[in-house]
Amino acid sequence: MKFQHISGGVTAAKGFTAAGIHCGIKKSKKDLSLILSEVPAVAAGAYTKNRFQAAPVIVTKEHVSSGSARAIICNSGNANACTGEQGILDAKRMAELTAEVLNIKIDDVVVSSTGVIGEYLPMDAVETGIRDIAAKLSTQGGHDAAEAIMTTDLVSKETAYTLEVEGKTVTVGGMAKGSGMIHPNMATMLAFITTDICISPELLQKALTYTVERSYNLITVDGDTSTNDMVIVLANGASGNSIITEENEDYHWFVTVLQKVNTELSQMIVRDGEGATKFLEVTVKNAASFIDGKSLAMGILGSNLVKTAFFGEDANWGRIVSSMGQTDVEFFPERVDVFLGDLQVTQNGQGLRFDEEYAKKILQEKDIKITVDIKMGDESVTAWGADLSHNYVTINASYRS
């Protein structure tokens, strides 16, 4: 099966339009995004497990539970989180007004917000924006939509791929935002995926759950899980393939491409991490299970001591093994090998003499690979993270200002 990378993001798939505008939540940058499927679409979602769930998450979970949706309305600059009953009313009003201007059902609207926690939405601006944005929907509007969901992001995050199903071209495209508060458990992160494949609601949800666990749930920037995390996928069937109702070959190829889209978006989030100077890729080899490998990889990437060592370009492998030992994973320390790039620094749990100059050269790179072999099984898990810099503290010390 050949996959082709194409442009277009969330409007690459047939039957989707999008737009992004400035409505007045932020001072000047785009802050309202809309995606629309021209026909009814199957929907699936994954959400934050933070106990403080934002109002739009609560409303969207209820709407998507039906297995269908047509539109996604998302604002940036205000999270509408920890806003009580008023927050719920405002999220529902966003859905109601979006449905009204698009002439669709309220339950077919996904609502999402991102930004500062604990402040009420300026609903006059939001309502005016929703009325204005509908007229700007187009097949070329994907990039504007991606820009409009950014907060501290420095770059927009978009990707799309095509594959062949029954001789028909199927497209999977997506956009995401996230830079800080990134440690999903399903960072502040949002991802919206569109596809023209025809698939049952049950299998779409299964595909999303599987790929989220192996993409967004394998990244970390700062160890904080947001109140607003959300991943939504809409599948409108416009490609014309026969509906996929069983886990056949077509389903597995679709999962492969959905995985590519979600993995790329996840990595873009990490690369744009607040204050990040390094992109860290940790692979745990020969784990007993996926869960063990994930726990160890995220334990390494979540350690502030590990993160600061890589910021300082210090080959302090002791911090890596120490962070592993703090997890609940059972393994034998005397079996562990650690590599920085292609340089082995630890063998069977003990340090090796290595070329410090060569290690320094590896750590001076923007992208750094860390490999840990625990020799407990045959599962391999790769996760991604960032270093912790002075600039991260500067950004987050004045986030509200």
Cα separation, 123 vs 248, in Å, equals: 46
Backbone angles phi, psi at 45, to 5 degrees: -145, 155
Map residue 4 onto helix, strand or coil. strand
First and final CA of the chain: distance in angstroms? 49
371 flagged as catalytic: no
* Token pair of 33 as six digits: 């995004």
List the alpha helices (DSSP H) in 272-348: 290-301, 304-311, 317-325
Residue owning tokens 């060592």: 309
| The amino acid at 268 | M
All residues at 6 or more sequence positions from 98 whose CB lies less than 8 Å from its CB, including other chains:
34, 71, 73, 109, 111, 130, 134
| The amino acid at 358 | Y
Residue owning tokens 């299998």: 203
Cα separation, 138 vs 131, in Å, equals: 15
Q: Of 17, 48, 188, 263, which is the active-site residue?
A: 188
Q: Which residues pair with 371 in a beta bridge?
A: 283, 339
Give 3-state DSSP helix, strand, coil % of the chain, rounded to 5. Answer: 35, 30, 35
Residue 20: its H or E element: strand 16-21
DSSP tally for the chain: helices H, then strands E: 11, 16
Q: Which residues are catalytic?
A: 188
